[in-house]
C-alpha cells in the first residue's frame, strides 16, 4: 500500500496544468448547446414555437401533433451540432442524474437507415425504473415509472447526446424524482403569491421563485484520491491525522487560485457557458484546496437543473485535469466543510423582486408583507425546513463542531429588527391618520435607505436575509437543491394563503381598510415569529440553550431530523397544497432513511477494513522492527540494554495498546452492525446505525491516527492529510 501512496505523490508532483484555450468571448458561446428561445425560433414552425413558449410560461399542455413538429426541429438542431443520441434526463431520488441514451439512428430495411426522433419519444419514455429508489411506491401500486418532458427547462446537448429534462413519475402519478414536487411547489407559491400581490398591483399575473446557489467543493489530485480507499468509496477521509499546518494561517481564502485548479475552472466555465449555466464567480474557500463557484441566479427549476448538471460536469471536467472533485460536506476532519448556500427570492412578471424594498411606502408595504410572511413560514415550519437538508454527510456540519447549527433561525440585521419592533406597536384595529402618516414616513418609508447601507452579515445563521433575498446556508454541498427549494416554496405558499384569508377577514368583518388590515396581520405575525428570529452567534453554546427555551428543534442527526417529514403536520402541509400526497411523503422518508442506513453501513465497512487490513498490519510490521532493534541492543549490551532501548520498549507497548483497541472496537462495531441489520423497522434501524454503530468511528479513528504519529512514515500506507491537502 505504501508503494501506492508514494506512486500517487510522484504522479501528482509530475502533473502540469492543462492549457485551456479561450478564443471566443463567453457571451458569444453562452447557450450554444441549449435549445433556447432563439434556437427554437430558427428550428421550429411558428405553431410549434408558440406552443412551447405557452407551455414554458403558462404551463399549458402541448398537443401531440405539435409535439411531432417540435421533436423534428429539435432533432435537426441536435444533429447539426453533432449529437447522435437523445436521452430523457431526470433526477431520481439517488441524488444524482440519470440518463439512458437512445440513438437517433434507425434501420428502415433494405440495408438503409435514417435518423428518427418522434413526438412520442420527446414527450414520454419508460426507462426500466425498477432499480431506482421508490420507497415502496411501485410495489404498492404495481405500477411502472415513466419520464415526461418538462418544457420549462430547455433541452441541451451534453457531449454527443441531446438531453431532455423530464419528470419521473409512477403510472399512478406519484413522484419518483426531485423535480415533480418542486414543480408543484413552484406552482403553489406562484398562485398564492399572485393572490397576495393583487393587494398591491392588479397587473401581476405570475410570481417566480428564484434560486442562486453557491457551490463549494474540494479538488484533490485524482491519483492521491485513488490511493485512499475511504475517499474512493465514501467520498471522504475516515481517518488521517491533522497536518501540522491546516487552515489556521487563513492563507487560502480568496488567495491566488492554484494553476491546476485555475485551468480546471476555466475549462469548466467554458462548458458551463455552452450549456447556458450562467456561472459568474469563482474563488478559493477557507480550507486548503477548497473552492467555490456561483452563477447568476435563475428561475428555481432551471437553477436546480443547472446545479445537478454542473455537479456531473465537474466530475467530467475534473477527469481531464486529473482532479477529483469532492462534494462531500466534510471530506477532511479539522478543516472547514462544504455547503451550498441557496439564495432564494420571489419575483413578479412585472419585474419586481418581492424581497426587495421599493421606492414608495406602498411598495415597501409589499416588501414587508412578503418579508414577514417568509419569516413566519420558517418560524412555523422550522422542523420541516431542518428535515429538508438532513443527510448522513451533512450531519458532519450541522450540529457537529461546525456551522451552521442544526437549529433553524432567521437573521435579519439590526435595522430590520428595529422596523419589526416598531411595527409591533401598530394599533389594534383602525389606525388614526397620524399613525398612518407616521408609519409611512418613519417606518415603512425609511426602509430603502436603511437596506442600501445594510452590510450587516451574520455568517453563523442558517437562514439569513441579505438585502434582497434569503440565504439558506445549511444546505449540504452534495445535496440536490430541489429538496430545500420544494420545502421553502411550499411553506411560503401555505403562509401566503393563510395571510390572505386573515387580511380579507379583517377587511370584511372589521371593516378595515386594506393597508390597515395588512398592518394588523403583520403585527401579529411579528409577535408570533419571535422564536425563530435570532441575531446573535449561531455557533455559540448559549444559543443552543436559548433555542431550547424557545422550543426550537435542534436535531443533530438525520434519523432524528427526518421524522418531521412524516409528522401529521408535514403530511397535511404537502398534501393540502398538492405538492406531495401521503404516499409520496412517506416514500421519501423511507428512501432517505434507507440512504442514511446504507451510507453509515458502507462507512462502517470501509473503516473496519482499513483499520484491520491496512493499519494494523503496518503497525505490527513497525513493531517488529522495534523488537528486532531491542533484541539487537540486548545482544550488544546484555542486561544494560534498557538504558538504550527504553523508548523503543515504550513504543512497542504503545503500539500494542492501539492495536488492541482498534481490534476490539472493530469487533464490537461489527457486532452492532449485525444487530442493526436484523431490525425491520426503518427508523429503529437508522437509529441503531446512528447511535450504536457510528460512535465507533471516532474511537477507531483515534487509535489509527495515533499510530500514524508513531509508525515510520516510509511504510505508512495511507496518503496523509498534508499530502492530500497541500500537493498541488
Ligand atoms: P455572497 O453571498 O457570497 O456574498 P452574493 O450575495 O453576491 O454572494 O450572491 C450569491 C448568490 O446569490 C449568487 O448566485 C447570486 O446570483 C444570488 N442572488 C443574488 N440576488 C438574488 C436574488 N434576488 N434571488 C436569488 N438569488 C440571488
Ligand atoms: Mg452567500
Average pLDDT of the chain, as a whole number: 93
Co-location of 406 and 477 in the same domain: yes
How many angstroms separate the CA atoms of 402 and 722, rounded? Answer: 21
Co-location of 203 and 119 in the same domain: no
Residue 88 lies in a domain: yes
Residue of 186, 293, 297 with the most ligand 1 atoms within 8 Å of its CB, for mutation: 297
Task: Specify whether the CB–CB gap between 607 and 703 falls below 8 A.
Answer: no
* 294 CA: nearest ligand 1 atom: 14
| Per-residue pLDDT tens digits for 633-645 | 999 999 899 889 9
Cα 640 to chain centroid, rounded? 64
Q: Output phi, psi for 323, to 5 deg.
A: -120, 140
Co-location of 221 and 244 in the same domain: yes
How many angstroms separate the CA atoms of 472 and 480, rounded? Answer: 14
How many angstroms separate the CA atoms of 648 and 443, rounded? Answer: 75
Residue 680 lies in a domain: yes
Judged against a pLDDT cut of 90, whether residue 256 lies above it is answered with: no
Co-location of 404 and 486 in the same domain: yes
Using the 3D structure, point to which of 177, 196, 225 is the last residue of a domain: 177
**Is 457 near ligand 1, meaning CB less than 6 Å away?**
no
**Is 345 near ligand 1, meaning CB less than 6 Å away?**
yes
Interface ipTM above 0.90:
yes
Which pLDDT band holds residue 3 (cuts at 50, 70, 90)? Answer: confident
Residue of 253, 295, 343, 454 with the most ligand 1 atoms within 8 Å of its CB, for mutation: 343
**Is 297 near ligand 1, meaning CB less than 6 Å away?**
yes
Ligand nearest to the CA of 345: 1
**Is 367 near ligand 1, meaning CB less than 6 Å away?**
no
Using the 3D structure, point to which of 177, 209, 231 is the last residue of a domain: 177
Co-location of 194 and 170 in the same domain: no
What's the CATH code of the domain at 396? 3.30.590.10
Q: How many domains does the chain have?
A: 3
Task: Specify whether the CB–CB gap between 85 and 101 falls below 8 A.
Answer: yes
CA of 187 to the centre of ligand 1 (A): 23
Using the 3D structure, point to which of 519, 548, 580 is the last residue of a domain: 580
**Residue 249: its pLDDT value, please?**
74
Q: Decide the pairing of beta strands 463-465 and 410-411.
A: parallel
Q: Decide the pairing of beta strands 161-170 and 145-149.
A: antiparallel
Range of lowest pLDDT (71-80, 134-143, 340-349, 462-471) = 134-143
**Is 603 near ligand 1, meaning CB less than 6 Å away?**
no
Task: Specify whether the CB–CB gap between 212 and 473 falls below 8 A.
Answer: no
Which pLDDT band holds residue 453 (cuts at 50, 70, 90)? Answer: low
Residue 323 lies in a domain: yes
Judged against a pLDDT cut of 90, whether residue 171 lies above it is answered with: no
Write the CB contacts of 106 (distance below 8 Å, at least 6 apart in sequence). 113, 114, 115, 116
* 297 CA: nearest ligand 1 atom: 16
**Is 232 near ligand 1, meaning CB less than 6 Å away?**
no
Co-location of 253 and 143 in the same domain: no
Residue 25 lies in a domain: no
Residue of the CA atom closest to atom 11 of ligand 1: 212
Residue 586 lies in a domain: no
Please state the rounded mean pLDDT for residues 456-465. Answer: 84
Coil, strand, or helix at residue 378? helix
Task: Specify whether the CB–CB gap between 286 and 338 falls below 8 A.
Answer: no
What's the CATH code of the domain at 628? 1.20.120.1560
| Per-residue pLDDT tens digits for 646-695 | 999 999 999 999 999 999 999 999 999 999 999 999 999 999 999 999 99
Here the cell at position 45 is 414552425
How many angstroms separate the CA atoms of 149 and 272, rounded? Answer: 22
Co-location of 191 and 239 in the same domain: yes
**Is 469 near ligand 1, meaning CB less than 6 Å away?**
yes
CA of 212 to the centre of ligand 1 (A): 6
* 355 CA: nearest ligand 1 atom: 23
**Residue 139: its pLDDT value, please?**
61
Share of the chain above pLDDT 70, in %: 97
CA of 454 to the centre of ligand 2 (A): 15
Which pLDDT band holds residue 586 (cuts at 50, 70, 90)? Answer: very high
Range of lowest pLDDT (250-254, 314-318, 647-651) = 250-254
Residue 567 lies in a domain: yes
E strand intervals along 273-419: 279-284, 290-295, 298-299, 323-326, 340-348, 410-411
Co-location of 610 and 555 in the same domain: no
Co-location of 452 and 570 in the same domain: yes
**Residue 75: its pLDDT value, please?**
96
Residue 624 lies in a domain: yes
CA of 686 to the centre of ligand 2 (A): 33
Co-location of 351 and 312 in the same domain: yes
Co-location of 102 and 130 in the same domain: yes
Residue 5 lies in a domain: no
Co-location of 533 and 632 in the same domain: no
Task: Specify whether the CB–CB gap between 324 and 330 falls below 8 A.
Answer: no
Domain ranges, residue 88: 31-177
Amino acid at each position: 500500500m505504501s508503494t501506492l501512496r508514494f506512486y500517487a505523490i510522484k504522479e501528482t508532483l509530475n502533473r502540469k496544468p492543462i492549457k485551456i484555450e479561450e478564443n471566443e468571448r463567453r457571451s458569444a458561446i453562452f447557450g450554444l448547446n441549449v435549445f433556447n428561445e432563439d434556437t427554437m425560433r430558427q428550428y421550429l414552425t411558428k405553431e410549434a414555437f408558440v406552443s412551447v413558449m405557452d407551455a414554458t410560461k403558462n404551463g399549458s399542455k402541448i398537443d401531440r401533433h405539435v409535439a411531432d413538429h417540435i421533436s423534428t426541429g429539435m432533432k435537426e438542431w441536435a444533429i447539426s451540432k453533432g449529437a447522435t443520441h437523445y436521452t430523457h434526463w431526470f433526477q431520481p431520488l439517488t441524488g444524482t442524474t440519470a440518463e439512458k441514451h437512445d440513438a437517433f439512428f434507425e434501420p428502415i430495411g433494405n440495408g438503409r437507415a435514417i435518423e428518427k426522433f418522434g413526438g412520442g419519444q420527446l414527450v414520454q419514455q419508460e426507462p426500466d425504473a425498477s432499480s431506482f429508489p421508490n420507497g415502496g411506491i411501485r410495489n404498492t401500486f404495481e405500477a411502472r415509472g415513466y419520464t415526461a418532458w418538462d418544457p420549462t427547462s430547455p433541452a441541451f446537448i451534453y457531449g454527443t447526446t441531446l438531453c431532455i429534462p423530464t419528470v419521473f413519475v409512477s403510472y399512478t402519478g406519484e413522484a419518483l424524482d426531485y423535480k415533480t414536487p418542486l414543480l408543484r411547489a413552484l406552482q403553489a407559491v406562484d398562485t398564492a403569491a399572485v393572490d397576495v400581490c393583487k393587494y398591491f398591483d392588479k397587473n401581476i399575473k405570475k410570481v417566480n421563485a428564484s434560486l442562486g446557489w453557491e457551490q463549494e467543493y474540494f479538488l484533490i489530485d485524482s491519483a492521491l484520491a485513488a490511493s485512499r480507499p475511504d475517499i474512493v468509496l465514501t467520498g471522504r477521509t475516515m481517518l488521517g491525522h491533522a497536518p501540522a499546518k491546516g487552515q489556521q494561517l487563513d492563507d487560502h481564502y480568496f488567495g491566488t487560485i492554484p494553476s491546476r485548479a485555475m485551468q480546471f475552472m476555466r475549462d469548466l466555465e467554458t462548458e458551463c457557458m455552452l450549456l447556458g449555466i450562467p456561472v459568474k464567480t469563482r474563488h478559493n474557500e477557507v480550507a486548503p484546496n477548497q473552492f467555490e463557484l456561483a452563477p447568476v441566479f435563475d428561475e428555481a427549476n432551471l437553477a436546480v437543473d443547472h446545479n445537478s448538471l454542473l455537479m456531473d460536469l465537474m466530475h467530467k471536467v475534473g477527469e481531464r485535469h486529473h482532479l477529483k472533485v469532492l462534494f462531500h460536506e466534510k471530506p477532511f476532519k479539522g478543516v472547514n466543510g462544504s455547503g451550498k448556500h441557496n439564495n432564494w427570492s420571489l419575483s413578479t412578471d412585472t419585474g419586481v423582486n418581492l424581497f426587495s424594498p421599493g421606492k414608495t411606502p406602498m411598495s415597501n408595504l409589499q416588501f414587508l408583507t412578503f418579508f414577514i410572511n417568509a419569516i413566519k413560514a420558517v418560524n412555523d415550519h422550522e422542523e420541516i425546513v431542518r428535515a429538508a437538508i438532513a443527510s448522513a454527510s451533512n450531519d458532519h456540519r450541522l450540529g457537529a463542531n461546525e456551522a451552521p447549527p442544526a437549529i433553524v433561525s432567521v437573521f435579519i440585521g439590526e435595522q430590520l429588527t428595529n422596523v419589526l419592533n416598531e411595527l409591533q406597536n401598530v394599533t389594534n384595529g383602525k389606525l388614526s391618520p397620524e399613525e398612518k402618516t407616521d408609519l409611512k414616513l418613519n417606518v415603512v418609508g425609511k426602509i430603502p435607505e436603511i437596506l442600501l447601507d445594510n452590510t450587516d452579515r451574520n455568517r453563523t445563521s442558517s437562514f439569513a436575509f441579505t438585502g434582497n433575498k434569503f440565504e439558506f446556508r445549511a444546505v449540504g454541498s452534495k445535496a440536490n437543491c430541489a429538496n430545500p427549494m420544494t420545502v421553502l416554496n411550499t411553506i411560503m405558499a401555505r403562509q401566503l394563503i393563510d395571510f390572505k384569508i386573515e387580511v380579507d377577514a379583517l377587511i370584511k368583518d372589521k371593516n378595515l381598510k386594506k393597508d390597515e388590515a395588512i398592518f394588523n396581520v403583520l403585527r401579529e405575525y411579528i409577535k408570533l415569529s419571535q422564536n425563530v428570529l435570532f441575531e446573535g452567534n449561531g455557533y455559540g453554546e448559549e444559543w443552543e440553550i436559548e433555542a431550547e427555551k424557545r422550543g426550537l428543534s435542534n436535531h443533530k442527526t438525520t434519523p432524528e431530523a427526518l421524522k418531521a417529514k412524516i409528522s401529521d403536520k408535514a403530511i397535511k402541509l404537502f398534501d393540502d397544497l398538492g405538492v406531495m400526497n401521503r404516499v409520496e411523503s412517506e416514500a421519501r422518508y423511507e428512501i432517505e432513511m434507507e440512504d442514511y442506513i446504507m451510507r453509515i453501513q458502507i462507512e462502517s465497512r470501509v473503516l473496519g477494513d482499513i483499520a484491520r487490513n491496512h493499519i494494523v498490519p503496518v503497525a505490527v510490521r513497525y513493531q517488529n522492527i522495534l523488537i528486532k532493534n531491542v533484541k539487537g541492543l540486548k545482544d550488544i549490551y546484555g542486561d544494560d540494554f534498557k538504558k538504550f532501548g527504553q523508548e523503543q520498549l515504550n513504543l512497542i507497548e504503545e503500539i500494542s495498546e492501539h492495536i488492541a483497541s482498534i481490534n476490539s472496537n472493530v469487533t464490537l462495531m461489527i457486532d452492532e452492525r449485525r444487530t442493526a441489520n436484523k431490525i425491520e423497522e426503518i427508523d429503529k434501524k437508522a437509529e441503531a446505525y446512528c447511535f450504536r454503530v457510528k460512535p465507533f468511528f471516532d474511537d477507531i479513528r483515534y487509535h489509527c491516527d495515533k499510530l500514524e504519529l508513531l509508525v515510520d512514515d516510509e511504510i505508512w500506507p495511507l496518503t496523509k492529510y498534508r499530502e492530500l491537502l497541500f500537493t498541488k
